[in-house]
Structure 1
Amino acid sequence: MIFSSWPELLVVDVEGNGTTPPDLVEVAALPIRDGRPDKTTAKAWLTRPNRPVTSFATRVHGLSNDDLADQPAWAEISGQVHAFMSTAWICAHNAHTDYRVLSAHLPNWAPAGVLDTLRLAKATFPNLSKYSLDALIKHVEPDLSQAPAPGRHRATFDAFATAQLLIAMASRYETWDQLVATAVPPGLPGAPEPEKDPTLW
């Protein structure tokens, strides 16, 4: 895989307040440059949700209503998030979820494409019993020594872990187009057009 051939790509992760549909409480966007996560240009935002964070959500990511009380509302930062992500490709684990939530919060946002490390992992490691982020970290053993604190289930950490998993799996493919064909879920931006049946004319 020639990583320098990749278009602009951001690994993203979001955390929500636990409601359905969720309000965002944290967004992280980590660029991949030359086959490495670029922490120097990464961005992360905390935001105060419109509805309170549920106790279950707090147990998952550790962010409480008190933690977020002084953070800006989404309307105050949505322009920054939109401008940073712009029309880049994005990657996420179980990308349908992150793409759906971000699209609901950024109605005019249109990424060039969406890679899904969950879909990619199922093709790359077909015999695993689980494909959760934790299961893949255990299987691939990526270098997480430089992962941001405070750890798992925070958007910055999970984006870094997902980036390392993406890079490790992508190295098994020869070209960007092969990666796209494997990792972009049907119906999401960037998915290859299905081949048309040849005619008999």
Structure 2
Amino acid sequence: MNFSSWPPLLVIDVEGNGTHPPDLVEVAALPIRDGQPDTSTAGWWLTRPQRPVTPFAARVHGWSNERLLNEPGWEEISASVHAFLGTAWICAHHAHVDYRVLAAHLPQWRPAGVLDTLRLAKATYPGLAKYSLDSLIEHVQPDLSAAPGNRHRATFDAYAAAQLLLAMAVHYDTWDQLVAVAVPPGLPGAPEPEQDPMLW
């Protein structure tokens, strides 16, 4: 895989307040440059949700209502998040969830495409019992020594997903081959289905 041929790409992760639909509490966006995650230029935002964080969500990611009380509301940071994401490709684990939550919060945002490490893993490692982020970390054993934060924090999960993406990408010769298996149908960047020729 020639990583220099990749378009601008951000590996993202979001954490919510546990409601349905969720309010955002944390967003991380990690650029991939020359086949490596670039933590020096990564984006990270905390935001106070409009509705309280549920006890279950707080137990998962550790962001309590008290901790978020003095963080800016989404309306105060949405423009900077939108500007950082731009029109780059994004990648996430179970990407349609992160994409849809972000798109609901950023109605004018249009990424060039959406890669899903879950979908990619099913094609790259068929036959695994589970394809959760934890299961793939155990299977692939990526180097997470430089991962910021802890599991279930957006920064850590984005870094882990980035390392999994790069580990799986070497199984494909070209960016187009990667896209063909990693973009969920119906999301930006999905290859157009081939049309059957019209029969007369």
Does residue 129 of structure 1 match 2:129?
A: yes
The separation in 2 between residues aligned to 1:82 and 1:199, in whole angstroms, is: 42
5+ residue gaps, structure 1, are: none
Offset from partner CA, 1:151-188 (integer Å, 9 cap, x none): 00000000000000000000110000000000000000
Does residue 61 of structure 1 match 2:61?
A: yes
The separation in 1 between residues aligned to 2:18 and 2:170, in whole angstroms, is: 35
The separation in 2 between residues aligned to 1:181 and 1:199, in whole angstroms, is: 24
The separation in 2 between residues aligned to 1:87 and 1:14, in whole angstroms, is: 18
Q: Provide TM-score, normalisation by structure 1.
A: 0.98
Give the superposition deviation at 1:198.
2.4
5+ residue gaps, structure 2, are: none
Does residue 52 of structure 1 match 2:46?
A: no
Match in the other structure for 1:71: 71
Q: Provide TM-score, normalisation by structure 2.
A: 0.99
Within a 5 Å distance, the mapping from 1:159-174 to structure 2 comes to 159-174=158-173
Does residue 189 of structure 1 match 2:191?
A: no
Within a 5 Å distance, the mapping from 1:12-161 to structure 2 comes to 12-149=12-149, 151-161=150-160
The separation in 1 between residues aligned to 2:160 and 2:141, in whole angstroms, is: 10
The separation in 2 between residues aligned to 1:109 and 1:65, in whole angstroms, is: 28
Secondary structure at the counterpart of residue 78 of structure 2: helix
The separation in 2 between residues aligned to 1:12 and 1:199, in whole angstroms, is: 41
Secondary structure at the counterpart of residue 126 of structure 2: coil
Letter paired with 1:126? P
Give the superposition deviation at 1:200.
4.1
Secondary structure at the counterpart of residue 83 of structure 2: helix
What is the percentage of aligned positions where both structures have the same residue? Answer: 76
The separation in 2 between residues aligned to 1:115 and 1:196, in whole angstroms, is: 23
Letter paired with 1:140? V
How many pairs were matched up?
Answer: 200
